[in-house]
Amino acid sequence: MGKSDVATAGAADFHDLAPALAVTGLSKSFPGVKALDDVSLSVRPGEVLALLGENGAGKSTLIKVLAGIHKADSGQIEIDGVPQDFTNPADALDAGIKVVFQEIALIPEFSVAENMFLEDHLAGKANLVNWREIHRRAQEIFDRAGFALNTRAKVKDLSVSEQQLVEISRAMARDARIVIMDEPTSSLTPAEVTHLFGVINRLRKLGIAIVYVSHKLEEIFEIADTCVVLRDGRWVSTKPTSEHTPASLVKDMVGREITSLFPHSDRTVGREIVQVEDLSSKRLDDISFHVRAGEVVGFFGLMGAGRTEVAKAIVGFDPITKGRIRIDGEDLKPHSTVRSKALGIGLLSEDRKTEGLMLDGSVTRNMTLAALDQFTRNGLMDHRAETKQAEGFVDRFAIKLARLGQPIRNLSGGNQQKVLLSRWLMFGLKAVVLDEPTRGIDVGAKAEIFALIDELAAQGLAVILMTSEMPELLGLSDRIYVLSEGRMTGEFTRENATQEEILDAAIR
Amino acid sequence: MPLSANPALPQNMLSRTLRKVAGQSEIALFVSLVLIVIVFSSLSEYFLTTRNLTNVLGQASIILLIATGVAVALIGGEVDISVGSLVAAVALPLVEIMNATGSLSLGILGALVLGLMIGAINGYLSAYLRINSLIVTLGMLFLIRGGVYLWTNKRAQADTAYLDSFFAIGNGKAFGIMPIPAIIAGVIVLMVMFIMHKTRFGRRIYAAGGSAEVARMVGYDVRRIKFICFLISSTLATIAGILLASRLGAAVHTSGQGYEFQAIAAVVLGGVSLAGGRGNILGAALGVLILAYLSNGLGMINAPTEWQLVITGIVIVAAVSLDSYKKSKE
């Protein structure tokens, strides 16, 4: 695959090549917001360009314009010097732009291989699907990329990280000229990230231009040749990565220096709020732990270690086979979310979109969902009190929105997460489980979420933090539990926790 | 990281070939069908006769055609319940044109034109104007039935052309045993099965129903796909309507009532998901046959009609519950 004229271009000499993709003066407005304002950038064959920026910086809009989902108000997109006019996603694909979105865009009921060849099903004469060839080509791509995927597995049975590999394979199957990756590593294990970088390096050797969107600075420094930073819809800087330091990048992104990413206030640790003994379920084996009021307890584990399973079990969402869960001394029986909510423990799901938010509901409705009783007088809703309370939280957490009545769908990930946190604070929980609270959220907003988590603990909540991000784990947790294959393999205090020992426990 | 390039082991070959033809649930459906036949054969001496078994196929062919169309729509993520009334409606141009011209072909053409028009309206409103298809086709169900009553003044329109060919398509038997409608329905079902599994368009229907959002991202014209699903559904129902009119020898204004739900019941029993994107035509066809032989067998042992309804209801709910219980265990 790859186009022959650029196939020989190595990673080093792309500087001499003409841009594969050039964007000039792109602007795009939505009602009330100028999402993109005169943005220009170009990426050459074999170059990895990192696109950086905070919430609402315009990255998503830019990607959607390049994917043919949105139409720009003004400006030009050129591929290999030819001006493009995308009216729909198919046009962008045909022109050679493949976007690997963060929200997995695969058909769950289809096999891995079929998903990779969705565009044409390799159909030949009479539009017949060539199943044999689909599986053969898919396997060929996996062999080349080193992916351990079964072409016949149904996508719905795969983990998020495996699904992401399928998405990337799909770009390879399309012979894409320009691959745009939107936070591709947000749910990959360290080993899978290394793999992905291997794949990216292979793609760049084939002369493919890569636009890489990520909030993990260490990744940027490892993989990107060039950094383009956007802020508030405007272009801020374009520099070779070698001229950047983490601090300079963050400064460009937020327009100020972030002093402490992980605030850790002095907190009084109180009684044990969450007590779990010998918890077992389909994928968990004899897990015991406790969390005190005012404590942030981190759970670490690689993909499939059982973090999400623990989270869902202790809030009564998933069934358990054995064990005892007590919230503030009361047994979680019957094992249901109704009971767990009554006892005062809530979960912020890793999957905000499907398990947390009512996407078409207003910000207010989403925020007050758990606390409706507080706004009910004689069985009737007191909308004024509801709005007032919601406004209070919007101010307190600096949630960026146009109006309270707007659908939450239109808020950025960080702001959506703040609304969800507000929901549980408003309800008055004793314990909260946060499953990957910063997944898909960028640096500036992350710092705010971290501050929020610290505040939750300072207010006396027991906070359980499930995370696969080591800095987050070490920076926020008072104590750390490590899971591996559904078992508990380590416990550390904030003082004696080291990255090496935690990783060691995670692979035990 | 290990590669999963496992070459097909010899012992896998058989099961893989089996799986290619039918999934696990289709095998389970087939076994259920065989069980029903065995049970009723032991209860009634008249059940297990070539004559009875083929007769049931002939009767079931009408629901089979409708159910196949409904299954296509459901797989594409849409519902079409207008088909019950459509069956009665298309018989009108069929019979009237035949009576006027003496030509079966022109009559069939007239029926197809009306059927496609109804399908196009359903499809336009549901796929292009994005009105919920349950509502659109529910409205259409009433609208067409009312239209048929108005047109016929609530009287059956008899076929007065007496064409042998028209009589044969609904009542004839090939080789003296196999009802022609069963052959017509069988061939059409096989064609639809082929389209759904083997052609690119069929897979696009699955994709549109499985995740319209993803399908759109991939560059499919989802609206067009769904629109065509309605055309397929109404075309198959039109053919069913033609066969039914032939059996009845007239365009009967009340014909086809409740067929839409019989079809949906059979299709769901056959493993097609109401949520779209899941299930297949083979399963749907087996669902139709199971319900047909069940009702025939109950009739053979003189079970009252009331009980036939009750038992059919229990079978559908039990089968679907069992299926979702199994899935939740996985």
Chain A residues whose beta carbon lies within 8 Å of the beta carbon of residue B198: 128-129
Q: All domains of chain A, ordered by start, with CATH?
A: 4-96+175-254 (3.40.50.300), 105-168 (no CATH), 272-506 (3.40.50.300)
Distances (CA, A) of A487 to A191, A192, A278, A503, A505: 20, 22, 11, 14, 10
Which of A217-231, B237-251, B277-291 has the weakest average pLDDT? A217-231
Q: Between the ranges A128-142, A386-400, B231-245, where is the mean pLDDT highest?
A: B231-245
Choose, out of A104, A118, A163, the residue to mutate when testing the contact with B (most B CBs < 10 Å): A118
In terms of Cβ atoms closer than 10 Å to its own Cβ (0-12, 13-18, 19+), residue B20 is exposed
Check CB contact of A83 with chain B, cutoff 8 Å.
no
Q: What is the pLDDT of residue B4?
A: 38
Tokens of A226: 């060039």
**Which among A88, A101, A143 has the least Cβ separation from residue B5?**
A143
> Is there a contact between B218 and A89 if contact means CB atoms under 8 Å apart?
yes
Mutating which of A97, A107, A110, A156 best tests the B interface, going by the most B Cβ atoms within 10 A? A107
More confident residue, A484 or B134: B134
Q: What's the gap between Cα A14 and its chain centre?
A: 30
A238 or A256: which leads in pLDDT: A238
Are the beta carbons of B76 and B225 closer than 8 angstroms? yes
- Which amino acid, A129? V
Q: What percent of chain B has pLDDT over 90?
A: 69
Tell whether A120 is within 8 A of chain B (Cβ): yes
The burial of B46, by beta-carbon neighbours within 10 Å (0-12 exposed, 13-18 middle, 19 or more buried), is given as: exposed
Question: What is the tens place of the pLDDT at every residue in A11-20?
Answer: 456 777 889 9
**What are the CB-based long-range contacts (under 8 Å, 24+) for A379-387?**
none
Closest-approach residue (CA) in chain B for A136: B5
ipTM of the complex: 0.76
Which of B4, B211, B217 is the closest to A150 by Cβ? Answer: B4
Structure tokens at A345: 């423990």
- Asked if B201's CB is within 8 angstroms of A149's CB, the reply is no
Reported confidence tier of residue B259, pLDDT bands at 50, 70, 90: very high
CA distances from A39 to A91, A231, A378 (A): 21, 10, 55
pLDDT for residue A258:
52
Which residues between 140 and 169 in chain A have a beta carbon less than 8 angstroms from any beta carbon of chain B? 142-143, 146-150
Strand residues in A136-221 grouped as ranges (E):
178-182, 209-213
Torsion angles phi and psi, residue A54, rounded to 5 = -80, -175
- State whether residue A319 is helix, strand or coil: coil
CA A245 to chain CA centroid, Å, is: 24
Stated as kind and residue range, the H or E segment containing A100 is strand A97-100
A104 vs B117, more confident: B117
Please tell me which residue of chain A has the smallest CA distance to B194.
A128
Using CB atoms within 10 Å of the CB of residue B161, give its burial: 0 to 12 exposed, 13 to 18 middle, 19+ buried. middle
φ, ψ (nearest 5 deg) of residue A461: -80, 150
Tell me the residues of B at the A interface, defined by beta carbons under 8 Å apart.
1-6, 197-203, 206-207, 210-211, 213-219, 277-278
Contact A129 B219 (CB under 8 A): no
Tokens 């841009």 locate to: A19
Report pLDDT for B10: 44
pLDDT of residue A99: 87
Judged against a pLDDT cut of 60, whether residue A9 lies above it is answered with: no
- State residue B236's pLDDT score: 98
**What pLDDT, in 10s, does the model give residues A46-55?**
999 999 887 6
Calculate the average pLDDT of chain A: 84
Give the closest-approach CA distance of A69 to chain B in angstroms: 8
Residues of B in contact with A94 (CB under 8 A): 219
Using alpha carbons, select from A304, A305, A327, A329 the residue that is nearest to residue A315.
A327
8 Å CB contact of B214 and A105: yes
Whether the Cβ atoms of residue B179 and residue A97 lie closer than 8 Å to each other:
no
Q: Which residue has the tokens 């507000």?
A: A422
Q: How far is B177 from chain A (nearest CA, A)?
A: 35
- Rounded average pLDDT over A342-368: 81
Give the pLDDT confidence score for residue A402 in this predicted structure: 83
User: A185-206: per-residue pLDDT in tens?
Assistant: 776 777 778 878 888 888 888 7
Q: Tell me: pLDDT of A401 over 90.
A: no
Tens digits of per-residue pLDDT, A151-181? 999 998 887 778 878 888 888 888 788 999 9
The model's confidence at residue B15, banded by pLDDT at 50, 70 and 90, is low
* Cβ–Cβ < 8 Å for A210, A204: yes
Contacts with B, A 430-489, CB within 8 Å? none
CA distance, residue A422 to nearest chain B CA (Å):
30
Dump pLDDT digits (tens) for B276-312.
888 999 999 999 999 999 999 999 999 898 998 899 8
- CA A190 from chain centre, in angstroms, equals 15
> What number is the average pLDDT over the span A405-431?
84
Give the number of C-alpha atoms closer than 13 A to the C-alpha of residue B182, restricted to the C-beta side: 18
- Mean pLDDT, all residues of chain B: 89
Q: What is the DSSP string of B36-71?
A: HHHHHHHH-TTTSSHHHHHHHHHHHHHHHHHHHHHH
Helix-then-strand count for chain B, H and E = 14, 4
- Is the CB of residue A152 less than 8 Å from the CB of residue A113? yes
How far is it, in rounded angstroms, from Cα A37 to Cα A26? 7
- In angstroms, rounded to a whole number, what is the distance separating the alpha carbons of residues A291 and A298? 10
**Using a CB-CB distance cutoff of 8 angstroms, which residues of chain A are in contact with residue B200?**
120-121, 123, 127-129
* C-alpha atoms less than 13 angstroms from C-alpha of A52 in its C-beta half-sphere: 32
Which residues does A374 contact at the CB level (< 8 Å), separation at least 6?
Answer: A385, A389, A426
Summarize the confidence of residues A229-252 as an average pLDDT.
Answer: 87
H or E segment to which residue A52 belongs: strand A48-53
Q: Minimal Cα–Cα distance from B203 to chain A, Å?
A: 8
For residue A122, name the pLDDT band (cuts at 50, 70, 90): confident
Pick from B201, B206, B210: CB nearest A127: B201
pTM (whole model) above 0.90? no
Lowest mean pLDDT among B29-33, B234-238, B286-290: B29-33
Among chain B residues, the shortest Cα distance to A144 is held by B3
Q: How confident is the model at residue A3 (pLDDT cuts 50, 70, 90)?
A: very low
* Chain B nearest CA to A251, separation (Å): 35
Q: How many CA atoms lie within 13 A of A189 on its CB side?
A: 15
Domains and CATH numbers, chain B: 25-324 (1.10.3470)
Amino acid, single-letter form, for residue B160: T
